[in-house]
Homo-oligomer: A and B are copies of this chain.
Amino acid sequence: MPSSRGAMAATEWVDVLVGSGTLIPTGVAGVWAHGEVFARVLRGVEDLLASVLRTSEVEVRRFPPVQEVTVLHRSGYLRSFPHLTGVVSTFSGDERAHRDLLDALERGADYDGAFRLSPMALCSSACHPLYPTLRGRLPKGGRWFDVRGQVFRNEPSDDPARMVAFHQYELVYVGEPEGADRHAEMQLALALELLGGLGLSVSALPATDPFFGRTGRVLASVQLDAGAKVEVHGPTGPSSPTTALASVNRHRDHFATAFSIVTAAGAPAHSACIGFGVERIGLALLWRYGIDCSEWPASVQERLWPGVTR
């Protein structure tokens, strides 16, 4: 790490990350491959999150990077975030259609017509595919879930802290309204302690989602007034003072109503989640301690990779 990190330009930091093989550009803005150090850091971060957040009551769910497109419709995601959405298109043509496709590719011509939208979309948030699986009545006290997934947001950027495809680690509660509020408060406190305990300068900030269009600006203002979203911010590089490393979201009965989930008492359930951006936490650590993780403070290494002597 250069000693003048404070004065570093955003492009210099990317040069350090790429030059060291920590991140590898793939030719698409926002899509990065990870080298050994980054892979190791992200695994350490996920394991630490699991060891701190996962209690015996928490149920584990893993979702693949694709999900049913109707979930995006029913949850209102396509209404609020069409610009961030990725839908999977597939080819089901015959040999003639295939020849036309290859011909278009050779000529650099448009080949949209060869593909049709499939019933699958890319995963928008690790917890979104969870809700449709919970249809019905919950036990008293609700349920907790440890959900990890690779998610997609169509916002191409050269800033590695704003990836198009990234890992999300979520802890989700679905149950009574008070349970959801308690979950949101407790997880926010835990996140601040956990990330602060790694030596990161973090703070909680009220936040809004990047809703689409003019209606979206109204929705964002409603969200802010309701205190429905709080982000945990910290520095991840020189491109902006801080980046959201995690966010706590109170959904009220939004998902439960959309997917017919009711409490033990038969009322619409409430949900709340905390979502961690795993790559962003990794970048925050690299920015804080340097790109050689064997040189990081022993206390940080011990938290990320317990029992492993470097």
Contact = CB atoms under 8 A, between A and B. Distances in A.
Interface residues of A, number: 67
Interface stretch (A2-10, A57-65, A232-240, A289-297): A57-65
Given A86-B89, A116-B112, A66 B34 contact: no
Contact of A87 (B67, B82, B92, B115): B115
Contact of A34 (B61, B73, B95, B152): B61
Given A60-B36, A95-B214, A31 B88 contact: no
Find the residue from A34, A91, A112, A166 having the highest chain B CB count within 10 A: A91
Contacts of A86: 66, 88-90, 118, 120
A250 B166 CA distance: 31
Copies of the polypeptide in the assembly: 2
Contacts of A177: none
A161 interface: no
A278 B90 CA distance: 24
A32 interface: yes
A101 to B, nearest CB: 6
A84 to B, nearest CB: 9
Contacts of A40: 60
A95 B120 CA distance: 24
Interface string A103-134: 00100000110111111101000000100110
A62 B39 contact: yes
A83 B98 CA distance: 9
Contacts of A150: 64-65, 150
A91 B154 CA distance: 9
B39 A60 contact: yes
Contacts of A152: 65-66, 88
A16 interface: no
Contact of A63 (B33, B111, B115): B33
